[in-house]
Amino acid sequence: MDAASAERKLGRFLPKFFLASCLALLLAYLFGGLSDDSAPSLLQNFSRQFFILYTVLAPTFFIAYLLYIEVLRTRERKRIIAGNSKLIYDDAFELPTQDMHGYKIALITGREPTLTGLTGDTYEADDTAKCEMNREHVPPVADCDCGFYAYLDLGAAEHQLSINPGAFLIDVDLFGVGFAYSRGFRAESQLVNSMALPKRCMRCKVFRPEQFVRTFKLGFNSFAYWSWEIRCRMCSHSFKDEDCLSLDQMTKELKIKLVRA
């Protein structure tokens, strides 16, 4: 099971969990489990113990499942890194001379819309990579992870998009010094050509998306951040004007072309 599948299962379970919690509270109330009698009956004592056990085990299960999802995400990241770590040539100095065109996924974060990779690094539409681990590096360096990455195959990027809800698919060209891998490239600089918009609203998954909205999110690691999503009119009607951007406004903010699927 991958992290996306685990998250979908959790989403389907949450309404049932709410109903189960209401039922447990109702049964505890009906059978006297919430009473403060000094000499409770056997039934009252049993219902009280059952309700206490439920209130302990249910949150524990929920927290454990969130940790399990994070473990799955960590495994997926390691598998991706391992798959991308194999150069397609033996000599690292035999750098590719072909056009490095590819695809990747990115989030839009920040109070002011900013392109952000899954690692949390931000960049502009036309940017040069900087190594955060070693300032002396001029990315890319063979034995370091610095540089801009891109998948060679569109299908690989679309797969990553399917397991990272809230992200966008972007078309990029890479320039400068670059390494070719079995599944794509890593290079010195990057130019974002366009961003593909999803066919459906990112919230209801039903209607056609019409505008971007800014939300405040809390990640699994208690990391809070501003995130931009594209939603339909119904799912964005409650947002303030300052938290909404039209497609044309987002194009000007990011300085990239937005393409409807």
Tens digit of each residue's pLDDT (9 = 90 or more) over 210-235:
999 999 876 655 466 889 999 999 99
Helix (H, G, I), strand (E, B) or coil at 90: coil
State residue 81's pLDDT score: 59
| Torsions phi, psi for 85 (to 5 deg) | -90, 5
List % helix, strand, coil for the chain (3-state, nearest 5): 35, 30, 35
pLDDT digits (tens, 9 = 90+) for 24-39: 888 877 777 777 777 7
Percent of the chain with pLDDT over 90: 44
Q: Which two tokens stand for residue 248?
A: 């044309």
Of 221, 247, 188, 257, the C-alpha closest to 120 is 221
pLDDT for 178: 87
Which of 164, 177, 170 has the alpha carbon at shortest distance from 191?
Answer: 170
pLDDT 10s digits, 236-248:
999 999 999 999 9
Is pLDDT above 80 for 103? yes
Residue 92's pLDDT is 53
What pLDDT shows up at residue 12? 78
First to last CA, the chain: 28
Give the pairing type, strands 184-197 and 257-260. parallel
pTM to 2 decimals? 0.65
Q: Is the dihedral of CA 95, 190, 149, 105 positive or negative?
A: negative
Classify residue 145 by burial, with Cβ atoms within 10 Å: 0-12, 13-18, 19+.
Answer: middle
Q: How large is the average pLDDT for residues 139-165?
A: 90
pLDDT for 241 equals 93
- pLDDT for 52: 83
The answer to whether residue 201 scores a pLDDT higher than 90 is yes
Cβ–Cβ under 8 Å, residues 108 and 168: yes
pLDDT of 60 over the 70 cut: yes
**Residue 181 pLDDT:** 82
| pLDDT attached to residue 219 | 60
pLDDT value, residue 95: 59
How far is the C-alpha of 197 from the C-alpha of 204, rounded, in Å?
15
Mean pLDDT of the chain: 85
Q: Output the CA angle 16-20-24, nearest 5 degrees.
A: 175
User: What's the pLDDT at 6?
Assistant: 77
pLDDT over 90 at 182, yes or no:
no
pLDDT at 102: 95
Length of the chain in terms of residues written: 261
C-alpha triplet 126, 79, 8: angle, nearest 5°: 90
The residue with greater pLDDT, 51 or 121, is: 121
Contacts of 228 (CB under 8 A, 6+ apart): 108, 109, 113, 212, 213, 214, 215, 245, 250
Poorest-pLDDT segment among 29-38, 78-87, 97-106, 188-197: 78-87
